[in-house]
Chains A and B, each alone.
Chain A
């Protein structure tokens, strides 16, 4: 079977998982700073942060599910399988990073 080259654009997917992690960190950090600056109620601020966290978890969870369910296209050359594996594992690593870095802090006091 003739194989074809993986599109160069596929390389951006290597950054996709941790791109979501970066977005989560920026959104939560900024939301927290704004909430504290404008003296939002602690409960409201915590809920806002939790919603932002869950939104990012849903996004990256969806990416994980979609990518893991999709096997590498057999018409691509072996680079396709390599990139697929690398992308899936970066997404998994980013998922774990979101859970560990952005989850537990939400239990702490908000603006002290």
Chain B
């Protein structure tokens, strides 16, 4: 059934359309801003908040440079220094770098792909609030003097409660995990949005290269963050409840932390680099007046880079005593990761060489990036050589290297992008009075600070020391590094003043000032809340569009969806490869629920931090309830059939198609979940093979009957979910099947909890018991979440959101319960096999 399009107000076509769309898409004034879900608003908030944390992290870095500028400095004591340098690294990595790339992705990606917003606007907002509150907890601890103090990578056993008895480490573990919720939710959202929400006609080979970069980056985030989340949970469980995952006296192993941390930590470098490279690959062709050279080669290179970056985590552990042969795998991998990186650098150089570059401020920063990143890359190749790494490990050479790689790869492209896209955000062009001296101060200061650290490191200065006697030959190098740091800070200060001047005095522009060729400029600037008044049809590569002419046409409503309907926030969903329009996506409206849910999540984290465990459980259940409640009004409450979207095309709403965004989102959520589960399996087997004090004195004897009962119950729940889907598709009531699935899940949950209660050796006594409990806890947790799915199904059935045409809810539940049964079978099998594995260890010579 087609729905009538709303009557247009009077005026020119563009103005009429604007007046129709603004009330639907705009964020309200005053307190209603707290309900904002629009990607432009949330993207700007992400970036602005990240800049605040950058300033805090930068000040902390300057404090360390003050302390190290002279020998025997008494500027701060060792404990304060430990907190300062730990927070410097943690803030810049977790509260600046990753959120900044998320903010850029949120703000730019939909616009570059020709979509009106991201797939799940409320999830975007929830991610932002989680980031903000998590960041506040972390920085608040600094003010309270209980900030993390074990280094940004929190190595065990230093971070265990034997050596860090206060809440310092707990702040890091819980705060960072809280912030990572936003990283994970946004990564899933970015993947789904790029695959499904491009402009019609934008097939994958026409997608702007930035889309490929963000797609690969987001997929990396989906897989990279779960190992760290798991590690944080395990270490917090050790600190809070005494489960000895990392305690070698009780069958744990501190090196397990390093493995799990660097499984995240190394890809994280590329997670930061790739979006910046995406910005460069977008800006350089425009500034060089030439199409990007090597589009296909870059796509292949970034896929290769993504995979190889996961396979080289052990190069952070060259000195921990791993055999040479195994080290060589990772040494070779680290060396060859330079190749796909170099492919991109040569593509940029070739584009510049074949074009007619414009020498302006963004271009200055592009060259700043090339200079610093090549130096960082080359020292990275040096460190990939094991004997050299043994010499330079934990010295300032490594500090210099990663500041060149992460700082150079992030700061210079970011500032280039800031100058390039600021007219889009503000509607004003740059003043540029201060831009050039600011660049030179940043560039000179950066290189003075960090280049000299290579030499300090080669002279043997270790990392993380808070002072030094002064007879080692480090005095002048440290002093000059500190001077460089201040020069760089003055440069950043000038950048801020320059940007403020642009906001105040910049010349107003209404259209693209760069003669750019990507879609984000095909709109009035600054962008309206709906981004595109109508959605373009892409007929060639989407980084070769004449954005000026297109902008006028789209503003008049000559693209798709150039009208308003039912007050819906509409955008188009397309086929993943071809870009053919196939569904009308109706997005959720502004809501306070994301803020409320994030507040409840923050309360859970704080209750855990202060060891109020019953309160933690209570507010955790409140979070679960809010999430179920948030889903109650999602989608459409009746069948519509194909609806016209313009250009003679009609497509069904997303609630009536098979591969709607929520379906894909659950698939990628399960990929993340599966990575966490695989990391848990890895941890279990790693402890079995590597940890001291195995096998335990008490032989484990899992209750076979309970294990089989738990597995059978999970299988019945999965089968019942299929039954409910079949009933729904046939038009029959599926409530009976849902009830059966719920009973089975309760039984599975009870059996898993009973198994945890009977684990031998007791979880606090030995890591075997602790890992068995963790595996069973995973099963119980997933059965519990399955119950929430079923509860949601019942509520939405009653409210009319599920019909023969709209079966998405039942399909999501089936997928979740299939996954739960599959991982449950693996986890329960491993629990059964653990006694045999422990017995095998007795045969070791």
Interface residues of A (CB under 8 A from B): 5-8, 10-11, 14-15, 18-19, 21-22, 25, 28-30, 32-34, 36-39, 77-79, 82-83, 85-86, 89-90, 93-94, 97, 100-102, 104-106, 108-112
The chain A residue with its CB closest to the CB of B304 is A93
B576 at the interface (CB under 8 A from A): yes
Q: Are A86 and B300 also in contact (CB < 8 A) when A79-B204, A101-B329, A108-B328 are?
A: yes
CB < 8 Å neighbour of B690 from A6, A37, A97, A104? A37
Contacts of A34 in B (CB 8 A): 689
Give the CA-CA distance A33 to B304 in the complex, in Å: 26
User: Count of B residues near A, CB < 8 Å?
Assistant: 37
- B287-342 residues with Cβ-Cβ distance < 8 A to A are 296-297, 299-300, 303-304, 306-308, 310-311, 323-326, 328-329, 332-333, 336, 340
Give the CA-CA distance A82 to B307 in the complex, in Å: 20
Q: Is there an interface contact between B659 and A33, defined as CB atoms closer than 8 Å?
A: no
List 12 extra interface pairs beyond A18-B306, A38-B844, A89-B297, CB under 8 A.
A18-B307, A22-B310, A25-B329, A33-B690, A39-B844, A77-B203, A79-B577, A86-B296, A97-B336, A101-B311, A106-B325, A108-B324
B30 at the interface (CB under 8 A from A): no
Q: Are A105 and B328 also in contact (CB < 8 A) when A5-B580, A38-B844, A82-B204 are?
A: yes
Q: Is there an interface contact between A32 and B326, defined as CB atoms closer than 8 Å?
A: yes
Give the CA-CA distance A106 to B299 in the complex, in Å: 31
Contacts of B195 in A (CB 8 A): 8, 11
- B600-646 residues with Cβ-Cβ distance < 8 A to A are none
B394 at the interface (CB under 8 A from A): no
Q: Is there an interface contact between A29 and B308, defined as CB atoms closer than 8 Å?
A: no
Q: Are A37 and B689 also in contact (CB < 8 A) when A32-B325, A83-B577 are?
A: yes
The chain B residue with its CB closest to the CB of A110 is B325
Q: Is there an interface contact between A18 and B329, defined as CB atoms closer than 8 Å?
A: no
B205 at the interface (CB under 8 A from A): yes
Give the CA-CA distance A77 to B310 in the complex, in Å: 33
- List 26 interface pairs A-B (beta carbons < 8 Å), by A numbering: A5-B575, A7-B577, A8-B575, A8-B576, A10-B577, A14-B303, A15-B307, A18-B304, A19-B307, A21-B311, A22-B310, A22-B311, A29-B326, A33-B689, A33-B690, A37-B844, A78-B203, A79-B577, A79-B578, A83-B577, A85-B296, A86-B296, A97-B333, A101-B329, A101-B333, A108-B325
Give the CA-CA distance A106 to B690 in the complex, in Å: 21
Q: Is there an interface contact between B580 and A78, defined as CB atoms closer than 8 Å?
A: no
Q: Is there an interface contact between A105 and B205, defined as CB atoms closer than 8 Å?
A: no
Closest 3 CB pairs of A and B: A105-B328, A5-B578, A18-B307
B4 at the interface (CB under 8 A from A): no
Contacts of B329 in A (CB 8 A): 25, 28-29, 101-102, 105
> Smallest Cβ distance from A12 to chain B, in angstroms?
11
Q: Is there an interface contact between B205 and A78, defined as CB atoms closer than 8 Å?
A: yes
Give the CA-CA distance A5 to B659 in the complex, in Å: 15
Contacts of B306 in A (CB 8 A): 18
Most A CB contacts (10 A, CB to CB) among B310, B311, B843, B844 go to B311
B845 at the interface (CB under 8 A from A): yes
> Smallest Cβ distance from A21 to chain B, in angstroms?
6
Give the CA-CA distance A101 to B332 in the complex, in Å: 5
Give the CA-CA distance A19 to B306 in the complex, in Å: 11
Contacts of B297 in A (CB 8 A): 89
> Smallest Cβ distance from B439 to chain A, in angstroms?
36
Give the CA-CA distance A106 to B329 in the complex, in Å: 9
Q: Is there an interface contact between B576 and A11, defined as CB atoms closer than 8 Å?
A: yes
Contacts of B844 in A (CB 8 A): 37-39
Contacts of A30 in B (CB 8 A): 685
> Smallest Cβ distance from A96 to chain B, in angstroms?
8
Contacts of A86 in B (CB 8 A): 296, 299-300, 303
Q: Is there an interface contact between A111 and B577, defined as CB atoms closer than 8 Å?
A: no
> Smallest Cβ distance from B307 to chain A, in angstroms?
4
The chain A residue with its CB closest to the CB of B219 is A15
Chain B 196-216, CB-CB to A under 8 Å as 1, else 0, gives 000000011100000000000
Give the CA-CA distance A7 to B448 in the complex, in Å: 53
Chain B 447-480, CB-CB to A under 8 Å as 1, else 0, gives 0000000000000000000000000000000000
Q: Is there an interface contact between A22 and B307, defined as CB atoms closer than 8 Å?
A: yes
- B164-218 residues with Cβ-Cβ distance < 8 A to A are 195, 203-205
The chain B residue with its CB closest to the CB of A106 is B325
Contacts of A77 in B (CB 8 A): 203, 578
> Smallest Cβ distance from A38 to chain B, in angstroms?
6
- B643-682 residues with Cβ-Cβ distance < 8 A to A are 659
The chain B residue with its CB closest to the CB of A79 is B203
Q: Is there an interface contact between B307 and A21, defined as CB atoms closer than 8 Å?
A: yes
Q: Is there an interface contact between A25 and B325, defined as CB atoms closer than 8 Å?
A: no
> Smallest Cβ distance from B670 to chain A, in angstroms?
15
Give the CA-CA distance A6 to B205 in the complex, in Å: 12
The chain B residue with its CB closest to the CB of A5 is B578
The chain B residue with its CB closest to the CB of A82 is B205
- B205-250 residues with Cβ-Cβ distance < 8 A to A are 205
Give the CA-CA distance A14 to B328 in the complex, in Å: 27
Q: Are A109 and B325 also in contact (CB < 8 A) when A86-B296, A89-B300 are?
A: yes
> Smallest Cβ distance from B692 to chain A, in angstroms?
12
Give the CA-CA distance A101 to B329 in the complex, in Å: 5
The chain B residue with its CB closest to the CB of A28 is B329
Contacts of B307 in A (CB 8 A): 15, 18-19, 21-22, 94
The chain B residue with its CB closest to the CB of A7 is B577
The chain A residue with its CB closest to the CB of B196 is A8
Q: Is there an interface contact between B304 and A90, defined as CB atoms closer than 8 Å?
A: yes
Contacts of A36 in B (CB 8 A): 323
Contacts of B300 in A (CB 8 A): 86, 89-90, 93
Q: Are A104 and B328 also in contact (CB < 8 A) when A21-B307, A78-B203, A83-B204 are?
A: yes
Contacts of B303 in A (CB 8 A): 14-15, 18, 86, 90
> Smallest Cβ distance from A36 to chain B, in angstroms?
6
The chain A residue with its CB closest to the CB of B323 is A111
Q: Is there an interface contact between A8 and B326, defined as CB atoms closer than 8 Å?
A: no
Q: Is there an interface contact between A100 and B311, defined as CB atoms closer than 8 Å?
A: no
Give the CA-CA distance A30 to B297 in the complex, in Å: 33
